[in-house]
Amino acid sequence: MTEPKDSSFAVQRRSGNIDATLYWSLTSGITGPGPAAGQDIPSVPSAESDREAIAAAAAMLRSGGTVAFPTETVYGLGADARNTPAVEAVFAAKGRPSDNPLIVHIARREELEGLVIGVHPVASALMDAFWPGPLTLVLPVRPGVLSPLVTAGLDTVGVRMPGHPVALALLRAAECPVAAPSANRSGRPSPTLAAHVMEDLAGYIGGVLDGGAAGVGLESTVVQVQPDGTVAVLRPGGITAEQLAAVAGTGAVAPAPALALADAAAGHSGGQSQATPPQVSGGGTGGAAAQAAEGSPAPRAPGMKYTHYAPRGALGIVRGSSPQRVAETAASLLQAAQREGGITGLLLFEEHRALYPADPAACVVSLGSLASPEEAARSLYAALRRFDEAGATYILAEACPVTGLGAAIMNRLMKAAGEAVIDAG
């Protein structure tokens, strides 16, 4: 991956000065989707080794260290949100832009009072419905409580209560608010396994709690409730706009302000105007999204400004009037890239596999059925990492509808591709 050179980045290069990243494998980690948002989260089983691991990780957080831990969305890289040197270590390990705010994780609702000034009744209703779970609320921060790095100098902070037993046990044991972005190198696909964390950050963070595979697979939905009670979706995620509207009221939810999503849904081209290969560099440092980020104000939530989630190879999204047109265009472009010596990759949905010729790319990964977007969400980041393992230099992905979880899936794909969309007609 190309290292970011822009001065807005907190560091230009990681400085690995940790002798060894501690690794704790938990026998009580959960796999699969886990309980639905808002439901009771089961306690971590009482295995002595697990209790000791969580206690050790909590002590590391309290002493100013950094710990990666599982949540129901992805693995997070945690630090005491009140401790500026600890938060600096998170930015340094990730190479994260310093104007990209962090989400604060809590284990108990009553902790909010010490972190924020007031909670709108609609925000409170959303917490009732979806906490613990993959929903982050941007709230007015209480001055002087958190490190200013957490809020990127803004007067708001994103807060959530994760729906994972290991995360909740760690937060309770640490007894501090924990700032935690995804536990990956900035710009890379987010980690859904502890192995992904170790691949990106071993030697640069204090420890990793391995609690199994993340259930949702995409980061939390981030919302901000306006004074009039409307809900602005700043980042789509594990809680859909439809679910939010069921609580806040029909017409009260404003979708994520991402014109690229609407353009992609209509078959319009974002970074590309014709059915040609995306001319973007690997690692997600090019493309329209990255260029638009230059000079723009600090985002209110993670994932709003910079290119994220990118594999090392160039990625483009193919959209068209029919699956057949998409498959024909993608197959033709992949063949051309292969003739030019590229190592090709294809990300498709299972219903469309038969539309492609045999072996359309060197690495073909299915996101499962379009009828099961939960499966696609859980497997998306692992799929993007599969292309890196295969050494893919040119990758095409099928677009999907932007309803329900599809909005979050397309948001992540558009970010990963630098908004490079190929119109198949």
What are the tens digits of pLDDT across the range 388-417?
999 999 999 999 999 999 999 999 999 999
- Please give the Cα distance from 416 to 413 (Å, whole number): 5
- What stretches of 58-176 adopt beta strand conformation (E)? 67-69, 76-80, 103-105, 135-140, 156-160
Q: Which residue has the higher pLDDT, 106 or 30?
A: 106
Whole-structure pTM value? 0.86
Averaged pLDDT for residues 282-296: 40
Determine the pLDDT at residue 308: 67
pLDDT above 70: residue 296: no
Helix or strand (DSSP H, E) at 365: strand 363-366
Give residue 375's Cα distance to chain centre. Answer: 16
Tokens standing for residue 291 = 């260029």
Q: How many CB atoms lie within 10 A of CB 15?
A: 10
Residue type, 235: R
* Cβ neighbours for 222, distance < 8 A, ≥ 6 positions apart: 103, 136, 137, 138, 158, 233, 234, 235, 237, 301, 302, 303
* pLDDT over 60 at 285, yes or no: no
Q: How far apart are CA 282 and CA 316, in angstroms?
A: 11
pLDDT at 284 over 50: no
Q: Residue 46: its pLDDT value, please?
A: 63
CA separation (Å) from 244 to 122, 162, 239, 423?
Answer: 10, 17, 7, 31
